[in-house]
């Protein structure tokens, strides 16, 4: 086996990236929900409102 790694085609790269992004975005979404809950509990309503908007955008781009 050669030590040289084969260059992936653009479609192959995108396929791998989409898989990664799907997991990454899911993890980020959970973190945002956690911060939304913390902001609500702390009484930071303006921050909570903005985080709710971010969550809504995440749901729109979810796969």
Q: Compute the distance between CA of residue 21 and CA of residue 32 in angstroms, rounded to an integer.
A: 16
pLDDT, one tens digit per residue, over 9-61 is 999 999 888 888 878 777 888 899 999 999 999 999 999 999 999 999 888 87
Question: What pTM value is reported for the model?
Answer: 0.65
Range of the domain at 41: 23-61
The pLDDT of residue 5? 58
Q: Compute the distance between CA of residue 34 and CA of residue 62 in angstroms, rounded to an integer.
A: 18
**What total number of domains does the chain contain?**
1
8: in domain:
no
Which residue would you say has higher pLDDT here, 33 or 3? 33
39: in domain:
yes
Task: For residue 58, give the H/E element and its range.
Answer: helix 45-61
């Amino acid at each position: 086996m050669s030590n040289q790694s084969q260059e992936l085609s653009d479609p192959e790269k995108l396929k791998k990236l989409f898989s990664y992004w799907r997991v990454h975005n899911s993890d980020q979404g959970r973190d945002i929900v956690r911060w939304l809950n913390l902001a609500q509990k702390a009484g930071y309503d303006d921050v909570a409102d903005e985080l709710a908007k971010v969550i809504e955008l995440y749901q729109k781009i979810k796969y």
